[in-house]
Amino acid sequence: MSPRCAAQVLAIWRRYGGRPIDRGARVGRAAAAALLALGLGARGAQAGADGVVALAVPSSPSVDPPPSAAPSDPAARAALVVELRACLVAATAAREAEAAARWAALEGLWAQPGAVARAAARGQVAQLVAELEGAKVRCANAAGVQVRAVSPPALEQARAWLAAPRPTLSPTDTGARVEGPMGYPTRLVPAGTYTIGCTPGQQPDCGGDEQPTRELTLSRWLFVGEVEVTQGLYAQLMGRNPAFHAGCGERCPVEQVSWFDALLFANALSKAEGLEECYRIKQNHVVWPQGTACLGYRLPTEAEWEVAARGGQDQRFAGAAEADPVAWTLTNSGGAPHPVAQKAPNGYGLFDMSGNLTEWVWDTYAATTYAEGPVTDPQGPSGPTGSGRRVLRGGSWRLEPEAARLANRNDGPAAGLSKHLGFRLVRTAG
């Protein structure tokens, strides 16, 4: 199976949580065959002229609850026990086949060879291991209930893959492009020690909250969204398009999203791609248990955003000394946002980090953040994560070019408010 086909199978399988698809889906022939092998029981398949297959697959069959009392006849009861055991054997075989198919899809998921591919796939493999380690099957009838733990061969294969030496990324991997199964492209940004804030390239117009310069260390490489999340991808996963400028098209960045909206989308994209969900969200309270060690998608911290935006350079804007080559701002936008990636990228291959839409980051705003001295993997001021005003970065099509200056920080709205704002996601490289 080709990596593209395997990615499609995995994305469809993850999107429906491992359940049979209960509505029509159009996938390639090989992907359709793989889905059938996973036990998705198509009612019918019709080949189209364009070489795809339209699947119509049923939901899981309903199961009547077992009788409240077992039969008194020993022979009847023995038959029910045999039935239970046969159920466990069949259920175990089905679970092992499912695990094998998912592992096969993961093995072929990333086409790139070497450390970059291993780093990209590590999160999916870790999540598969976490799910398989707790796998059980359950059967019940009038004879009772039986539960069996399942340890598929794929679990040991995935564990061995994770136990191998971690991928060693090198400076030559900086800016490498990786596109996930759902089509969200990312670029590799290296770990290291950086200086942010009012550096020489930002002078002489630095604001008070950009000073003094701050030294920080990012301990992990990052996959940073090459572009702001688009309206098309957001609508595909969330089932709606909140953008005021919806007429701009699917390739335009999604706007009018709250900070909470961005976190919910990050979790949805992680789930769709077989990654752990970084955030635990309950009403207006958010917990980020793993911090920057989480291998799923998340908002960048302010420090990660600025390091990525600088692109290994010290220029006034993200990729240039002047705004126009890299940024849509009030002076050149025509009063509206534009499709992503139409301006020049920065040194890491990232687009629109100056201009187009102002972007949410994780941190709560504090004017004194840059005065706190050297720090490793900063996550912003401590305090309740669901309250306070969030940091905004990057300028927008509605603002003067100065607002898109790379070090410019904005004291944004509270997390729950929705403005003309967008976001990009990152995930930690494995």
Q: Is pLDDT above 90 for 19?
A: no
Q: What is the pLDDT of residue 3?
A: 46
Contacts of 8 (CB under 8 A, 6+ apart): 27, 28, 31, 181
Say yes or no: 206 and 342 in one domain: yes
Share of residues in the chain with pLDDT > 70 (%)? 81
Q: What's the rounded Cα separation, in Å, for the pair 124 and 103? A: 10
Q: In the structure, how many helices (H) and strands (E) does the chain have?
A: 8, 18
Contacts of 90 (CB under 8 A, 6+ apart): none
Count of domains in the chain?
Answer: 2
Say yes or no: 294 and 152 in one domain: no
* CATH number, domain with residue 410: 3.90.1580.10
pLDDT confidence tier of residue 184, bands split at 50, 70 and 90: very high
Q: Which domain holds residue 105?
A: 3-163
Q: What is the pLDDT of residue 31?
A: 57
Q: Which of 163, 185, 215 is the last residue of a domain?
A: 163
Question: Which comes out higher in pLDDT, residue 411 or 68?
Answer: 411
Average pLDDT over residues 300-314: 96
Say yes or no: 77 and 112 in one domain: yes
Say yes or no: 190 and 70 in one domain: no
Say yes or no: 115 and 196 in one domain: no
Say yes or no: 333 and 380 in one domain: yes
Question: Which comes out higher in pLDDT, residue 297 or 23?
Answer: 297
- Whether the ω angle into residue 345 lies within 30 degrees of 0, i.e. cis, is no
Tokens representing 238? 């969330």
Q: Which of 111, 144, 163 is the last residue of a domain?
A: 163
Q: Which of 60-74, 139-153, 403-417 has the lowest mean pLDDT?
A: 60-74
Q: Is pLDDT above 80 for 326?
A: yes
Q: Which of 163, 183, 217 is the last residue of a domain?
A: 163
Say yes or no: 143 and 232 in one domain: no
Say yes or no: 156 and 180 in one domain: no
Average pLDDT over residues 46-63: 41
Q: What are the backbone dihedrals phi and psi of residue 326, each rounded to the nearest 5 degrees, phi first?
A: -120, -10
Say yes or no: 35 and 175 in one domain: no
Say yes or no: 194 and 158 in one domain: no
